[in-house]
């Protein structure tokens, strides 16, 4: 069975997430259920049919919450297995072996998440810290590789501020993972077009998935980068998302909301000379191709 419905896809989001305790900031807890349903309904009206929810274990993953949002909005929400990064890793990541962690992921992919019959359909987001892959992060990457090989699942990564992407890529190549089955995340924060080119030339999928986070990197620059990649014929590896993780990002709190990608960012791309075919490639064709394979 296809993992994605026909229609547009946001490749890296969190329907609910709770990083509030570690970050000591209540804004980092997405428990605004009704507002999420409203914003996802707005996305549906804009043609979005799939959201890849990369909320891993340790990030406040909540399968029932996500299923309820999916049921109420008609959006297919792909749910995740895996572990995030330091300091958000569950205690058992420290205690269990790589093989045991891999089997935990495989079980969630084959049988279901947290004892439900909702199967995980993506491994992620698994991450590295700023400029370093911590030992426990390496352990998670080793486990993810085993689980991906056993199941055929796509791996979606987190890079901190876009750093260490080439090291992640080298790790996957060394471990025999097909780059076409990996999405390297947050590369729009890297400010490094050469790095993005290298990842694409290696065959990796690259996510511009923090659209609207202008305080980290201006959207106008994202548009300029994407135009350059269009000119070089490299957009067939690029996917888009917003990675909203804070209540203050929602419209009801005065934030940009998810539909910003359509109402503000896509018009900016058109102004820069990015074609409709290129836009479709990034939000439709590429996700459909990446998730087009079977899970075993």
Chain contacts with Zn ion (rule: CB under 5 A): 125, 158
The nearer residue to Zn ion, 209 or 279, going by C-beta atoms, is 209
Report the Cα–Cα distance between both ends of the chain, in Å, rounded: 11
Question: Residue 193: CB partners within 8 Å, gap ≥ 6?
Answer: 225, 228, 229
Which single residue is written with the structure tokens 């876009």?
162
> Least distance in Å: CB of 92 to Zn ion?
21
Nearest distance from residue 296's CB to Zn ion, in Å?
27
| 240 in Cβ contact with 282 (< 8 Å) | yes
Cα separation of 250 and 255, whole Å? 5
Q: Which residue is nearest to Zn ion (CB)?
A: 158
User: In whole angstroms, how close is the CB of 138 to Zn ion at the nearest point?
Assistant: 17
CB-nearer residue toward Zn ion: 60 or 279 = 60
CB atoms within 10 A of CB 201: 11
What distance in Å separates the CA atoms of residue 123 and residue 157, rounded to the nearest whole number?
Answer: 8
Residue 288 near residue 240, CB atoms below 8 Å:
no
Shortest spacing between CB 124 and Zn ion, in angstroms? 9
Q: For residues 75 and 183, which CB has a smaller minimum distance to Zn ion in the complex?
A: 183
Q: Which is nearer to Zn ion, 139 or 158 (CB)?
A: 158
CB of 164 to Zn ion, least distance (A): 13
Spatial separation of the C-alpha atoms in residues 251 and 205, rounded to whole Å:
30
Nearer to Zn ion among residue 9 and residue 278 (C-beta):
9
């Amino acid at each position: 069975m296809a993992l994605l419905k026909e229609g547009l896809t946001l490749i890296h989001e969190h329907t609910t997430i709770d990083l509030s305790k570690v970050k000591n900031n209540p804004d980092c807890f997405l428990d605004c259920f009704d507002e999420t349903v409203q914003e996802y309904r707005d996305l549906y009206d804009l043609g979005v049919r799939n959201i890849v929810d990369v909320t891993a274990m340790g990030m406040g993953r909540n399968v029932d919450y996500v299923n309820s949002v999916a049921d109420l909005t008609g959006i297919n929400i792909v749910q995740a297995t895996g572990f995030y990064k330091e300091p958000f890793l569950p205690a058992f990541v420290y205690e269990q072996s790589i093989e045991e962690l891999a089997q935990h992921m495989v079980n969630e992919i084959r049988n279901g998440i947290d004892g439900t019959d909702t199967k995980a359909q993506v491994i992620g987001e698994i991450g590295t810290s700023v400029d370093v892959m911590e030992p426990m992060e390496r352990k998670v990457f080793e486990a993810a590789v085993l689980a991906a090989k056993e199941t055929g699942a796509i791996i979606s990564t987190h890079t901190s501020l876009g750093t260490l992407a080439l090291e992640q890529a080298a790790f996957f190549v060394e471990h025999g993972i097909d780059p076409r089955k990996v999405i390297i995340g947050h590369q729009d924060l890297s400010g490094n077009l050469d790095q993005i080119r290298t990842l694409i030339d290696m065959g990796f999928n690259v996510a511009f998935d923090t659209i609207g986070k202008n305080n980290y990197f201006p959207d106008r620059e994202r548009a300029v980068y994407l135009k350059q990649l269009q000119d070089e014929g490299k957009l067939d590896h690029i996917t888009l998302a917003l990675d909203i993780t804070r209540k203050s990002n929602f419209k009801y709190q005065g934030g940009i909301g998810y539909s910003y990608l359509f109402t503000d960012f896509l018009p900016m791309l058109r102004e820069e000379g990015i074609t409709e075919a290129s836009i479709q490639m990034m939000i439709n064709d590429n996700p459909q191709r990446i998730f087009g394979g079977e899970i075993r």
